[in-house]
Amino acid sequence: MSTHLPTADAQDPESSARTARLREALLAAAFTADGLLDLLGAPAYAALARSETVPALRATRGDGPLETLVRLFLLQRPVAGERARAALPLEDCLADGWLVRDGEEVRASVDVRPYGGPEGQDWWIVSDLGCAVGGAGGIGAAQDAAGVDRSQLVLGVGGASTTLAGLAVRTPVAKALDLGTGSGIQALHAAQHATRVTATDLNPRALRFAALTLALSGAPAADLREGSLFEPVGEERYDLIVSNPPFVISPGARLTYRDGGMGGDDLCRTLVSQAADHLNDGGYCQLLANWQHVEGEDWRDRVRTWVPRGCDAWIVQREVQDVTQYAELWLRDGGDHRAGPQEYAARYDAWLEEFEARKTKAVGFGWITLRKSGSTSPSVTVEEWPHPVEQPLGDAVIAHFERQDYLRATDDAALLAGHFRLAEEVVQEQVGLPGAEDPEHVVLRQNRGMRRATKVDTVGAGFAGVCDGSLPAGRILDAIAQLVGEDPVSLRDRTPEAIRMLIEQGFLEPVARG
């Protein structure tokens, strides 16, 4: 198995200088996310994300530096040595192993994909050949392209990576842990707001790729440690833990990047249940996970049992697939659909056999966020939300837990004495038959964050519409009672539950009074 990878040693001044010159050349050629879109155009750019390379090859027939870099690092096409020299510091790249000579031509040893940071930074994610989204061949061809055992391949950025990056809380912290770092995308994000970043992975090649990603992107080096789950960090504690773990529920552990090696959803359960021991007070653990839908069990009850004592939790199921869809998805992901019909059928049957043995009817995919609150009455929210959301969601995550704190500490009397304001960009929709005097129902809809929608009655709509922070809730309800001819005491008694729901879902925000 080939283990040749580029070198980017942050402790070596000469190596650091060579990496900096490569980074400057990439910037000078506009080998950035925006530069790619400008060069390729939207259709070819989108096709490349589907591993369809013909439109991008047509768009890079010129001999400019950007066309050269796209052909080298995204399309994995060899180019003439002199053409490469015009685009980047050729001798540096050969010395450090980013490029390899092939006669009069040079070729890339790794995928380098431009990636735009949250504040407009130009970053690059380094992964195995064919393993970046928008790479040339896709994972099925990567084994031959990289000369690496497929089980040890290191992937680039995909939809799961960007989802987690957008979900993570981005407040400044002292220590952050990226558990299962892969190509280092989460560590790269964390380096922007954490004083110290530790990144772990069971695959030693992944740690080397993470170091390359950080160095090429100009980020501080991370503390890289090899090992499974929390083993590499001992009893250390962190303010933020993020993980895009190998959560796929599969028979066996053929592919390190996706198969955790534990039965069913035990890997995700173990990670969640052990997280509290590695969080500082007030710290967050955020991860992506799969969980089984087991016959005779409610999936909500199943994942709720994973939450460790002393932690609040917000668990969101984003998608559900039946076992046949799930097996087919990951068989294609691993390139098994390219095997012979008998081999494919045998592997497919093994997946279904595994699910049948575990009485699994479907698999859920979603997000899990823990916050170590230390509360003896923790808030654990488990919900299904398959609808579009606004990324990034880090601020919405913080706001969710702040609302849980408020509701936990506020009884009904204090709630009615409280002041609230309608959240930004909430709109009201009235639904009913044309010409009807009154709507059948009223819907409040958010255009930010989770983009929730909820039905409310006339009192709820009127209450929300008046909330601007100036009047206490009880006085608003008294005024509404007078308008609708209802007993104000009765209205005060039955409305707090509805107000709590509007607060919990983010439609109303408590206003602090001096």
Q: Residue 256: pLDDT band by 50, 70, 90 thresholds?
A: low
- DSSP letter at 77 equals -
Three-state secondary-structure class, residue 485: coil
- Name the token pair of 416: 């009615």
Strands (E), 373-436: 380-384, 419-422, 426-431
Q: What is the pLDDT of residues 293-352, one digit of tens each?
A: 999 999 999 999 999 999 999 999 999 999 999 999 999 877 777 788 899 999 999 999
**Across the chain, what does the average pLDDT equal?**
92
Contact 403, 504 (CB under 8 A): yes
pTM of structure: 0.94
Run of H or E including 153 = none
pLDDT of 142 strictly over 80 = no
Q: Residue 21: pLDDT band by 50, 70, 90 thresholds?
A: very high
Identity at 120, one-letter amino acid code: G
Q: Lowest mean pLDDT: which of 30-34, 239-243, 330-334, 345-349? A: 330-334
Q: What is the pLDDT of residues 58-84, one digit of tens each?
A: 999 999 999 999 999 999 999 999 999
400-416 residues labelled b (16+ CB within 10 A) or e (exposed): bbebbebbeebeeeebb
pLDDT of 253 strictly over 80 = no
Q: What is the pLDDT of residues 125-135, one digit of tens each?
A: 999 998 875 44
pLDDT at site 143? 47
- Name the token pair of 281: 């007070």
Q: Which of 456, 467, 483, 484 is nearest to 416 (CA)?
A: 467
pLDDT of 1 strictly over 60 = no
Strands (E), 244-342: 279-294, 311-322
Higher pLDDT, 410 or 139: 410
Q: Residue 514: pLDDT band by 50, 70, 90 thresholds?
A: low
Q: What is the pLDDT of residues 426-469, one digit of tens each?
A: 999 988 888 777 777 899 999 999 999 999 998 999 999 999 99
pLDDT of 3 strictly over 80 = no
Q: How many CA atoms lie within 13 A of 113 on its CB side?
A: 27
Q: What is the pLDDT of residues 468-513, one digit of tens each?
A: 999 999 999 999 999 999 999 999 999 999 999 999 999 999 998 7
Residue 402 makes CB contacts below 8 A (sequence gap 6+) with none
Q: Residue 152: pLDDT band by 50, 70, 90 thresholds?
A: confident
